[in-house]
Structure 1
């Protein structure tokens, strides 16, 4: 209880005080109780004053005490917490700070009466502003001054001096009332939401950049991936809980001093972790980074508003009223599944016990007490506005519900990660946990391939089809490949090249058909690297994941001089080498390369071709490309796809025979214009091609007159140099 004391030494003029517009005496009758104290017992004038108050305020309860010091009476008033106004009357002597003072000091002109008024500011009142509260006190003061004036007038004529008194203004109604007491659990859980946003966005970024699928393809299992993020989450939650404890003590919040620090850290830790697990589930469901940002901001906004309103003290106490209706009981059970509701229950109990809180029975703000371990085990009971009683669950029960939520959420996380296609390289049907365990895909593939009549067969595709809605990305594809073979896949955009590689690697589930393939690794078109890891650290991670020691991938990729450099410091060619080295370090039987030299300059491309040739031994290499010179240099066989159908599957030379119809001649001469005129007159049937440096013309392979052209070029003295080649395979994309 915070009190305002009003010291009175003079009287107010009765005639002025009788103005009913200023002081409405009827409102004083709303007072329920007044405590009156005497320093040395009752006197004639104090009895007269008591009778006057009783007469003018019928029905009011008046309790009298005798006290010797002002502090004694204040302690009595503090124990009577429903008192709105207390009156302290100095009847003979009063002790103030060790000095005795005489209460009535008569002299030749006037007599001084000393009394104190104490008003309970924590008592619920219809007034909320200080000026109205002071006016209510003045109305009570009017009764007292009126009674004293009447007492004095009964023995002698009145001669009253008028002094206007100022009322002290209260700075704060409650001491030690802080943001934790006001906003409570919302203040703490905000830190958990912020940590969850960071983790959620990073995981979705890994998904959109295909890092998660790539890790899955390179031996990082589901438990390894999510286990690493859970460990990161553990560390973040633990650090966050420590920071909450340190900040709470630093700001002087009394709750953080009275509750054991290790219990606060534990409570914040499991709460943060429950929020984090919820964020991981959202990350599994979301596949777009922009949407991840949107859902993150919405998560914080809705979560904090929900915590302030539906997990606030008033609403939670309402849910736990005794003899609640059935729908309230059902609502309470539903809220039990929400971990932050359980955290709010624990927080409300502990902050009520240890912090400043409003007591509905005492009708005042009370200081908390020290924490006891029995407060955690026992249910918490209380009264809500002197009408309703409630019983909140024990802290242990609420903590158990939070832990159950964390365990259940982890199970949901792993289940959704298995069945949602964009999360893993190999998804499962929603009912996978009901099916019997069978042989692994790798052992099944080895058995099927070993039973084949072809000794070195490492890939067997039969009747493979993939549909996206009503569009066929691949249609009825058949393919068998052996080791020590390089196959190039060409076709226009949308022909099905990447879809085929994805299904061989296991990233994409076929609509129908079967694939039997031995150990496979995929090098995607984009470099999937961590900027903050070095070349050597990248290779060590993937070697450890595949239980391989002493891999020579770094030597094969010629990255010895760059092994300590961070990935962010490498050039485009070096990053591509590192990506290939990562795919090779696990010693796969089948290596899939998606456009391995896209975006590289001609010199680096030729170096990459040499590197690919150096790692081909004992492997089946399948790569996609739009560059026909790359197909000509690398591939032994070429698979031509057109709108999901296999158009051709043959060697490079056979493909030239199908698509190349002309020989292209290139002639170097001193005067190109003069030679061009002679050539046109001599051979008008030859197709001349414009070129800045040399004279180019084409002759059909079927034209028997090609020998005449060659003989004429040999005999012509204007010709310095000439050569002919077959027409480029680029026509494949045009045709």
Structure 2
């Protein structure tokens, strides 16, 4: 567990270092919360007082409807005896006739003999249900609604007067036919007379109403959610890109091949983004509680707000990481980040404008609104905007519900918000459609559902989505028993799979791979790269058998496309084998790859480094991942002569310096299996030998695979040299054994005088008929001389000396001597491993099954 925590800390350390180096980007991510300051400053009310125009007192009452059955002068409700008594007093005060108690307009819609009629269809907000009135085609001048009293006193009377105050415009001036003043005056006198028993003297007048121009407060209310969502979602733009960059640069696959568990990789990115989100959230909370006119945070219980913001953060980060498992191109990552960010902002704007409630259509299965509602359920910003909008609405100080709390409390999590959702315009009047939001706690639970769903989706997509950097599983892998409990690999292939091998060394290697207790046993490994265009291609690797012991170096040689990289990629888990198996220290590549990867160190063919990290930081991070002490890691760095440049970032390194750092990283953690793919490419001779010495020093107890195009490197390091041709093993053994087996004896290199190459070839064929021209490049000619011609070497050397320009005789016939000298320079040496390689790769393969 401690090693896993160190790995996690190593990756988080890398993330923090990169954030520090990219300080401009980091600063930009943390700016959005401070937009609240700008909003607060812009929302400060101006000190000027704006007066509304004085409205003169109007004591008029609604006019009589006459004999029009579709006109009702005054309706009242709800129907109770006490309310009827008050309306009777009102009728006496205004000299109107009132319908008897129990006479409801809904049963007598065509009645016209009464001025005042009861209407008992009252909504929860103490307003009459106008839908029925509109459906009957009625016109109502005024409506009086009696409200309940907070006190138990029988003398308490509260009421609400609504008038038909449709605005009419004539030549630019607005007039409002209203009888509100006269109705209020009459109702006050009637109630007083009913309660006291005598006439009331009421003085009614109007005064100027000062308006402090508080429209800015409404502006703050509308933009609070927008700024909050903008701040919390802004980091989305910076989430996709760095993860996709790591995938494209092969760093993701490299870390996995080096034994880093998938869950640690994803959790490190999760925690890194959570750090930025936490900083943003804390800044919002502090500013929201400190700035004037920012009401959303002060009107909500702080614990509820923290739960809300972090529930959204956890779900939103999970949602973002799930997308990075399928996005492969950095440009696509940037575009996707901006696109989803804009969607979240649009949602916040819509919620601010339309309010929190759901229309009835969203609750009806099969409707367009219902499908939209369900499709947004797995989009975390949708839950956040709905929840914040509901919280804001329920804590609004102008809410009509008298039981509302002005500070959103715990009990409000279970109370929906009720408000109108949209208005339908008709010929008679607008019809308001009302909706009920969900309980706020449902949105919190929805975000936690998102956390679980996207957490599982990250694990699933990471395993099945095609990726060139690692092997992937079938989409139904979790249904296979082998995934959950594994199965033993076959120790030997079937007899029918035994290849036909003619080379005795390759046959001995086959027997060792099948029967020995070697640390490495590659048994019939094959790989075909099928595609839709070619379902039966030539195998890139065919029936490879190879064995090796710990403490030894196996040098794998072959031309480009011979199968070396394919073999390495299969052994490290980057590719899956088409058939065959390989075991390293008893672990199979099919069933124990995670165990193999924990014991492996890799120096890839192409440098895989973090551009913004120094050499010292690279070994610091990798030492935590591989479980090595930092002091030992620095000591290894010093052995490749990089201690003087350890503070430079890798982007500034030369090619040779990058290769040396890559070799050091592969050695950290003392891996039992070491894969070195062309480790010294681009190094100067001194540093190359330093790396060779380091490999020889560290090889004890290790199984080392070395692929190289340097024959000198293979000869210096490799105890066993395996030469591959066209995907199969062609020859194998120590370098001395291969030279004794395949070498021709001597290697004669000649440099011909200009345009005399053909004369030199003719001269050599005449001198030694058995000599073989193995290479011809311009004036440079290389001949192979067999050991059978060893007794002629003396005569050959004398003849070469005579034909060399270095021995022109000093006599009168200098020009004639110069024409006879056709060789500019020459040299003779024993055959090298390069000669063996050329000899083997030119011979047709005979080891096919």
Does structure 2 conserve the Cα–Cα contact (< 8 Å) formed by 1:464 and 1:513? yes
Structure 1 pair 574–711 and aligned structure 2 pair: CA distance change class (3 A):
same
Match of 2:727 in 1: 644
Residue 630 (1) aligns with residue 701 (2):
no
Partner of 1:465: 526
* Among 693, 705, 712, the residue aligned to 1:610: 693
Alignment partner, residue 379 of structure 1: 416
Task: Flag the 1:418–1:180 CA change in 2: closer, same or farther, 3 A.
Answer: farther
Match of 1:403 in 2: 448
Counterparts in 2 of 1:439 and 1:650: CA distance versus 1, 3 Å: farther
- Which string of whole-angstrom CA distances, capped at 9 and with x for unpartnered residues, describes residues 309-359 of structure 1? 5x5664863435798566456654554444333222212212223348898
8 Å Cα contact 2:362-2:370 kept in structure 1: no
Counterpart Cα distance in 1 of 2:167 and 2:737: 99
How far the C-alpha of 1:697 sits from its partner, in A, is: 5.8
Residues 1:213 and 2:266 are matched in the alignment: no
Task: Judge conservation of contact 2:601–2:668 (CA < 8 Å) in 1.
Answer: no
Report the equivalent of 1:5.
Answer: 52
Over 3 Å counting, the alpha-carbon distance change for 1:650 and 1:709 in structure 2 is same
Q: Which residue of 1 aligns with 2:222?
A: 181
Cα distance 1:711–1:135, how it changes in 2: closer, same or farther (>3 A)?
same
Match of 1:230 in 2: 270
Change beyond 3 A, Cα 1:221–1:660: same
Change (3 A) 1:433 1:678: closer
Distance in 1, Cα, partners of 2:322 & 2:761:
73
CA offsets 1:612-633 (integer angstroms, 9 cap, x no match):
3332333222122233343344
Match for 1:137 among 174, 189, 194?
174
How far apart in 1 are the matches of 2:412 and 2:445? 16
**Does the alignment pair 1:708 with 2:795?**
yes
Describe how 1:26-41 pairs up with structure 2 within 5 A: none
1:388 to 433, 445, 450: 433
Tell me how far apart the structure 1 counterparts of residues 544 and 776 of structure 2 sit (CA, whole Å). Answer: 41
Q: Secondary structure at the match of 1:502?
A: helix
CA distance in 2, matches of 1:566, 1:133: 80
The alpha carbon displacement at 1:661 in A equals 5.4
Q: Distance in 1 between matches of 2:372 and 2:774?
A: 86
| 1:459 positional shift | 1.1
- The corresponding residue for 2:601 is 521
Q: Which residue of 2 aligns with 1:419?
A: 464
Contact kept? 1:180, 1:187, Cα under 8 Å: no
Q: Are the equivalent residues in 2 in contact too, given 1:207–1:423 (CA < 8 A)?
A: no
CA gap 1:506/1:81 in 2 versus in 1, 3 angstroms: farther
Superposition pairs of residues 501-650 of structure 1, within 5 angstroms: 501-518=568-585, 519-531=599-611, 533-548=613-628, 552=632, 554-557=634-637, 558=639, 561-562=643-644, 565-568=647-650, 571-650=654-733
- Residues 468 and 395 (structure 1), Cα distance of their counterparts in 2 relative to 1, 3 Å cut: same
Deviation at 1:181, TM superposition (A): 1.4
1:593 positional shift: 1.0
What is the distance in 1 between the residues matched to 2:513 and 2:803? 63
Q: C-alpha distance in 1, partners of 2:699/2:682?
A: 22
The alpha carbon displacement at 1:283 in A equals 0.8
What is the alpha-carbon distance in structure 2 between the residues aligned to residue 489 and residue 602 of structure 1? 21
SS in structure 1 opposite 2:676?
strand
Q: CA deviation at 1:503?
A: 0.8
Change in Cα spacing, 1:715 to 1:331, as seen in structure 2 (3 Å) is closer
Alpha-carbon distance between aligned partners in 1 of 2:264 and 2:710, rounded to the nearest angstrom? 38
**Distance (Å, rounded) in 2 between the aligned partners of 1:346 and 1:411:** 25
Shift of 1:514: 0.9
In structure 2, C-alpha distance between the alignment counterparts of 1:546 and 1:133, rounded to whole Å: 84
What are the superposed Cα offsets for residues 96-146 of structure 1, whole Å, 9 maximum, x if unpaired? xxxxxxxxxxxxxxxxxxxxxxxxxxxx868xxxxx7993436879xxxxx
Task: List aligned pairs for 1:165-314, cutoff 5 A.
Answer: 174-178=215-219, 180-181=221-222, 185-246=225-286, 248=288, 250=291, 252-306=293-347, 308-309=349-350, 314=354
Q: CA deviation at 1:271?
A: 1.4
| Contact 1:216/1:424 (<8 A) preserved | no
Does the Cα contact within 8 Å between 1:240 and 1:269 map onto a contact in 2?
no
Q: CA deviation at 1:176?
A: 0.8
* Separation of aligned partners in 2, 1:431 and 1:59: 68
Report the alpha carbon displacement of residue 204 of structure 1 after superposing the two structures with TM. Answer: 1.4
Give the superposition deviation at 1:282.
0.8
Cα distance in structure 2, aligned partners of 1:690 and 1:258: 88
For residue 438 of structure 1, report the CA deviation from its aligned partner. 8.1
Give 1:281 deviation, angstroms.
0.6
TM-score (norm 2): 0.59
Q: 1:510 to 1:133 in 2, by over 3 A?
A: farther
Write the distance in 1 (CA, Å) between the matches of 2:679 and 2:671: 17
RMSD: 5.1
Unaligned runs of 5+ in 2: 1-48, 57-70, 75-138, 145-158, 179-208, 424-430, 494-510, 586-598, 768-772, 808-824, 843-849
Displacement after TM superposition at 1:548 (Å)? 4.6
SS at match of 2:228: helix
**Mean Cα displacement is larger for which, 511-520 or 547-556?**
547-556
Residue equivalent to 1:484: 551
Report the Cα distance in structure 1 between the residues aligned to 2:300 and 2:801, rounded to whole angstroms.
Answer: 102
Say whether residues 1:496 and 2:563 are aligned partners. Answer: yes
- Return the alpha-carbon distance in structure 2 between the equivalents of residues 443 and 565 of structure 1: 48
CA displacement at 1:581 relative to structure 2? 2.3
Tell me, yes or no, if the aligned pair for 1:640 and 1:646 is still in contact at 8 Å.
Answer: yes
Change over 3 Å in CA distance of 1:288–1:733 after alignment to 2: farther
Equivalent residue number for residue 454 of structure 1: 516
For residues 759 and 262 of structure 2, the distance between their equivalents in structure 1, rounded to whole angstroms, comes to 72
1:353 aligned residue (371, 394, 397) = 394
Check whether the contact 2:225–2:348 (CA below 8 A) recurs between aligned residues.
Answer: yes
Alignment of 1:61-76 (within 5 A): 61=142
Report if the CA contact (8 A) 1:497-1:624 is conserved: yes
Contact 1:567 1:575 in 2 (8 A): no
Q: How does 1:622-701 map to 2 (within 5 A)?
A: 622-653=705-736, 655=738, 663-665=746-748, 685=766, 698=783, 700-701=785-786
Q: Per-residue displacement from partner, 1:271-293 (whole Å, max 9, x unpaired)? A: 13212111111111223323322
Paired with 1:707 and 1:273, the residues of 2 have a C-alpha distance of 84
Q: Structure 1 length normalisation: TM-score? A: 0.67
Cα-to-partner distance string for 1:476-504 (whole Å, 9 max, x where unaligned): 22221222322222333333222210111
2:555–2:707 Cα contact (<8 Å) kept: yes
Q: In the superposition, relative to structure 1, how do residues 251 and 296 fare at CA in structure 2: closer, same or farther (>3 Å)?
A: farther
**Alpha-carbon displacement from aligned partner over 1:702-724 (angstroms, at most 9, x marks no partner):** 78454421244578997599641
The offset of 1:596, in angstroms, is 0.9
> What is the CA–CA distance in structure 2 between the aligned matches of 1:177 and 1:304, rounded to whole Å?
19
Question: Does 1 or 2 have the higher relative contact order (CA < 8 Å, sep 6+)?
Answer: 2
Tell me the secondary structure at the aligned position of residue 519 of structure 2: strand
